[in-house]
């Protein structure tokens, strides 16, 4: 009986010691440096910590640099991945945690360069003063700039991408006029030029349909309106017409550039006073206006 009791006590002591050892925790101090050894800005940077190579232990935002992560079980091997601006950056850093505190310094691979040249659909007419926004895969804006007279931007440097990741670029000429270009992949230490050909014509010189609406309903002569809009650009009348049976007007307009603003006026039948007036973007005019 004594032998049985001693065996039970020995087992309980062994289990208690094993549990105490399994519950020992430690900390890892992680410092993340640029390729030139400068500390990176922790903004929009995450750390993925893997336990024993493939099990994700935790994912956290880098709030300071360096940063100490506490409450990590000892007796395991930890590896790390950096996520910066939505781009995943694998590292070769490995920590075998067998003490209260271990330290590791992660060096980020070199950035890659990008410069954009933006053109109309003909492929050779540059778009000047276009807003160019570079976004990450999580849609965060990283760069915002304006094209010069040659349709070009300055060169910018961002984190290099993996094969299955990329940036995308938004070209914007004004409200409702934008074009998305992707993928933009960056190679470390390589400066690349990207030629972006938008789907927009350099001039609008074909038929444009203009419809007039009131309370979401198209109007006609029966509604008491005779002429639909005078269109003016820089004070010069482009065309005017009448509201016909088809409840819309088609005009042949030339030499308008996408993004230009034109002024419109809509008259009543007796031409006394304006029913409506204002500015309309050429892009809006192309698709119809709703004063």
In the beta sheet, which residues pair with residue 87? 84
pLDDT-derived band at 67 (thresholds 50, 70, 90) equals very high
CB atoms within 10 A of CB 263: 17
- Single pTM value for the model: 0.64
Residues with Cβ within 8 Å of 144's Cβ and at least 6 positions away in sequence, in order, are: 131, 132, 133, 134
pLDDT tens per residue, range 121-154 = 999 999 999 999 999 888 889 999 999 999 999 9
Q: CA Rg, the chain, in Å?
A: 32
* Tokens matching residue 269: 């039948």
Determine the pLDDT at residue 227. Answer: 45
Q: What is the dihedral of CA 237, 273, 246, 283, to 10 degrees?
A: 50
pLDDT: which is higher, 96 or 261? 96
Q: Are 133 and 168 in contact (CB under 8 A)?
A: no
pLDDT tens per residue, range 199-245 = 888 876 554 555 555 555 555 545 544 444 444 444 444 444 444 44
What percentage of the chain exceeds 90 in pLDDT?
45
pLDDT-derived band at 7 (thresholds 50, 70, 90) equals low
β-pairing, 261-268 vs 274-281, is antiparallel
- DSSP state string for 180-223: EEEEE---TT-EEEEEEE-S--SSB-SEEEE--EETTEE--GGG
Answer whether residue 113 shows pLDDT above 80.
yes
Q: Are 141 and 186 in contact (CB under 8 A)?
A: no
Residue-averaged pLDDT of the chain: 75
User: CA-to-CA distance for 239 and 231, rounded, in angstroms?
Assistant: 6
* Tokens matching residue 212: 């007039």
Residues with Cβ within 8 Å of 266's Cβ and at least 6 positions away in sequence, in order, are: 212, 225, 227, 228, 229, 274, 275, 276, 277, 291
Alpha helices in the chain (DSSP H): 2-22, 282-286
User: CA-to-CA distance for 188 and 5, rounded, in angstroms?
Assistant: 67
């Amino acid at each position: 009986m004594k032998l049985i009791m001693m065996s039970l006590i020995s087992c309980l002591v062994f289990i208690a010691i094993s549990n105490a050892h399994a519950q020992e925790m430690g900390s890892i101090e992680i410092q993340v440096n640029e390729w030139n050894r400068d500390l990176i800005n922790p903004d929009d940077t995450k750390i993925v910590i893997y336990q024993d190579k493939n099990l994700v232990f935790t994912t956290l935002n880098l709030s300071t640099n360096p940063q100490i992560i506490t409450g990590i079980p000892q007796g395991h091997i930890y590896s790390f991945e950096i996520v910066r601006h939505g781009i995943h950056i694998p590292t070769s850093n490995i920590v075998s945690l067998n003490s209260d505190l271990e330290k590791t310094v992660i060096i980020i691979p070199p950035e890659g360069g990008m410069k954009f040249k933006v053109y109309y659909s003909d492929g050779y007419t540059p778009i000047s003063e276009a807003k160019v926004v570079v976004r990450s895969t999580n849609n965060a804006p990283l760069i915002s700039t304006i094209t010069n007279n040659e349709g070009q931007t300055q060169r910018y440097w961002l984190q290099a991408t993996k094969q299955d990741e990329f940036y995308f670029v938004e070209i914007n000429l004004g409200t409702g006029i934008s074009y998305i270009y992707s993928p933009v992949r960056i190679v470390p230490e390589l400066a690349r030029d990207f030629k972006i050909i938008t789907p927009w014509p350099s001039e609008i010189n074909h038929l444009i349909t203009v419809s007039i609406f009131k309370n979401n309903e198209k109007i006609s002569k029966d509604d008491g309106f005779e002429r639909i809009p005078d269109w003016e650009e820089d004070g010069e009348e482009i065309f005017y017409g009448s509201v016909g049976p088809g409840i819309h007007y088609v005009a042949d307009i030339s030499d308008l550039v996408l993004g230009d603003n034109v002024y419109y006026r809509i008259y009543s039948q007796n031409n006394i006073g304006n029913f409506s007036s204002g500015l309309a973007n050429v892009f809006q005019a192309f698709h119809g206006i709703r004063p």
